[in-house]
């Protein structure tokens, strides 16, 4: 008797042989595409490695042990709101079991930007004890627009032989109504292996923050 229909929800149990699904070689490194062929799985992409989110006041946000030897480059994407007049601040944190905030004068950075009134803006230092990510974030207490929002690519933070570099862009809002947008980057001039970051404001609390760190898959 010829069978022309099988109810796959009842008539089949177990795992179908891959040869019945498509042509090509099925393996742990291939995926089945819509043309019914097994092809090499796509490489690259972003791998989430850690982050944090708060809607209540904290003095700082630390994201430790997210940088590792697994990835060379990382994407840090975040938004922050302060509860006082302040500047947005980033510190690197050392890797390992007892992460320490890196506060020596090893931060060199330069960012240029514009404000929404047409003026020019700069942030720069050759030997700061922190990376100042933005300035003029006055009394930002409206939650419908974060005081600071943006991202940075960080290169080789875990390396104990490389100077760490970072570059990115962000926008912040000042109490005078201006929006200020910056692009640029900087260096952390130290060979200390870094495992994470510390985010804060120059004065008082981080009122609201969402930060995510992704590893850029080496490929």
Partner 1 sequence: MTLVYKILDNNEVREATAEERAEIDSLQKPINLAERKLAEIRKIRNRKLSETDYLGVSDNTMSDAIKTWRQSLRDIPANYTDENAYDLLLARNNAGELTHLIWSKP
Nearest Cα to 147, choosing from 182, 174, 119?
A: 174
Segment 74 to 93, residues that bind partner 1, using CB under 8 A: 83-87, 89, 91
Q: How far is the CB of 213 from partner 1 (least distance, A)?
A: 10
φ, ψ for residue 48, nearest 5 deg: -65, 130
C-alpha 174/C-alpha 161 separation (Å) is 38
Shorter beta-carbon distance to partner 1: residue 38 or 206: 206
| Contact between 127 and partner 1 per CB under 8 A | no
- Please identify, among the stretches 20-28, 37-45, 111-119, 162-170, the one whose residues bind partner 1 according to the rule CB under 8 A: 111-119
C-alpha 112/C-alpha 115 separation (Å) is 10
Segment 131 to 190, residues that bind partner 1, using CB under 8 A: 135-136, 138, 176-177
Q: Which of 18, 65, 94, 125 binds partner 1 (CB under 8 A)?
A: 65
Residues ≥6 apart with Cβ < 8 Å to 84: 139, 201, 203, 204, 205
Per the CB < 8 A criterion, the answer to whether 137 and 88 are in contact is yes
| Contact between 57 and partner 1 per CB under 8 A | yes
Strands 38-40 and 120-128: unpaired
Shorter beta-carbon distance to partner 1: residue 41 or 100: 100
Footprint on this chain of partner 1 (rule: CB under 8 A): 50-54, 56-65, 83-87, 89, 91, 101, 103, 117-120, 130, 135-136, 138, 176-177, 200, 202-206, 209
């Amino acid at each position: 008797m010829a069978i022309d229909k099988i109810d796959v929800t009842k008539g089949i149990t177990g795992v179908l042989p891959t040869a019945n699904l498509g042509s090509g070689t099925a393996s742990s490194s291939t995926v089945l595409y819509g043309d019914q062929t097994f092809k090499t799985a796509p490489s690259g992409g972003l791998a989430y490695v850690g982050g944090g989110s708060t809607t209540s006041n904290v003095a700082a946000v630390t994201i430790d042990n997210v940088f590792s030897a697994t990835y060379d480059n990382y994407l840090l994407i975040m938004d922050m709101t302060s509860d006082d007049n302040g500047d947005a601040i980033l510190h690197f944190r050392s890797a390992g079991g007892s992460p320490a905030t890196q506060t020596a004068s090893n931060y060199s950075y330069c960012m240029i930007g514009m404000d929404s009134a047409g003026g020019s803006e700069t942030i720069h230092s050759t030997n700061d004890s922190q990376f100042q990510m933005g300035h003029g974030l006055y009394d930002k207490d409206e939650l419908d627009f974060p005081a600071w929002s943006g991202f940075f690519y960080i290169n080789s933070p875990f390396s104990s032989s490389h100077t760490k570099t970072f570059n990115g862009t962000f926008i912040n809002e000042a109490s005078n109504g201006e929006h200020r947008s910056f692009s640029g980057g900087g260096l952390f001039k130290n060979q200390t292996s870094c495992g994470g970051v510390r985010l804060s404001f120059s004065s008082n609390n981080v009122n609201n923050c969402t930060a995510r760190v992704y590893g850029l898959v080496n490929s």
